[in-house]
Amino acid sequence: MRIDIITVLPEIFNGPLNQSILKRAQEKGLVTLQVHNLRDYSTSKHRQVDDYAFGGGAGMVLMSEPIFAIIEKLKTERTYDEIIYMSPDGELFDQKMANSLSLKQNFIILCGHYKGVDERVRKHLITKEISIGDYVLSGGELAAAVVSDALIRLVPGVLSDETSALTDSFQDDLIAPPVYTRPEDFKGMKVPEILLSGHEKKINEWRYEQSVERTKQRRPKLWKEN
């Protein structure tokens, strides 16, 4: 998988995408993450990438010119399966979308800023718009990091235990069961007996029941849709 992220704040990505599982995925060569500074594609002396909105009103808008320049350049280098714009009015991101996107290879993710991007970019370049929730962030960077994380961990070989992603919440339309680790007795709070029994079949049954219970309680809509 390859993800090209376009942003005016490339530094943000040094943190979240360079730790732990995501870092190892890149080191193992399973994933290529390339962060591009939109300002490098500005044609103005002051590396300007935003301008006032036509018609007036507060807030700057990211300009078409540098965005077209970088995306058109990237498209000459490889074929992209999706050119994504992070946007609060986009399709709501969930595990189903993550699963289906994870089967594809190459992505561009454009992060908006200020008031957003010139509408012509959205109309003529973008193939998919994704929101991570009904709230407004100050930029698309954190949202792009969320989507990248969710996709990368689904790439085969990224998680050390191959089945691990399959037992996470939402994968089978169920919430994950509770988990415990040592010690067995922590200040009188005990681990459920069944998990210490070594009886795999019974443990799996218990986990399934717990998942069902949790789904009914915490995500009743998900349970009803099943």
By CB under 6 A, name the binding residues for ligand SAH: 86-89, 111-113, 115-116, 131-133, 135-137, 139-140, 143
Q: How far is the CB of 7 from ligand SAH (least distance, A)?
A: 9
HSE-up of 153 (CA within 13 Å, CB side)? 19
Q: How far is the CB of 166 from ligand SAH (least distance, A)?
A: 27
With CB atoms as reference, the residue minimizing the distance to ligand SAH is 112
Q: Say which amino acid occupies 206.
A: W
Instruction: Identify which of residues 109 and 175 has a Cβ nearer to ligand SAH in the complex.
Output: 109
Q: How far is the CB of 115 from ligand SAH (least distance, A)?
A: 5
Q: How far is the CB of 148 from ligand SAH (least distance, A)?
A: 13
Q: Say which amino acid occupies 177.
A: P
Q: Are strands 60-62 and 50-52 parallel, antiparallel or unpaired?
A: antiparallel
Instruction: Identify which of residues 16 and 139 has a Cβ nearer to ligand SAH in the complex.
Output: 139
Residue of 79, 81, 73 lying closest to 38 (CA atoms) = 73
In sequence order, what E strands does the chain have?
A: 2-7, 32-37, 50-52, 60-62, 82-92, 106-110, 128-131, 185-186, 189-190
**Residue 129, phi then psi, degrees to nearest 5:** -120, 130
Instruction: Identify which of residues 112 and 177 has a Cβ nearer to ligand SAH in the complex.
Output: 112
Q: How far is the CB of 214 from ligand SAH (least distance, A)?
A: 26
**Is 140:113 a contact under the CB 8 Å cutoff?**
yes
Instruction: Kindly write down the DSSP assignment for every residue of 34-95, as one continuous string.
Output: EEEEGGGG--STT---EEEPTT--SSEEE-HHHHHHHHHHHHHHS--SEEEEEEEEEEEP-H
Q: How far is the CB of 129 from ligand SAH (least distance, A)?
A: 9
Could you say which DSSP state residue 33 is in?
A: E
Instruction: Identify which of residues 146 and 174 has a Cβ nearer to ligand SAH in the complex.
Output: 146
Instruction: Identify which of residues 87 and 215 has a Cβ nearer to ligand SAH in the complex.
Output: 87
Instruction: Identify which of residues 95 and 167 has a Cβ nearer to ligand SAH in the complex.
Output: 95
**Is 24:149 a contact under the CB 8 Å cutoff?**
no
Q: How far is the CB of 38 from ligand SAH (least distance, A)?
A: 12
Instruction: Identify which of residues 101 and 111 has a Cβ nearer to ligand SAH in the complex.
Output: 111
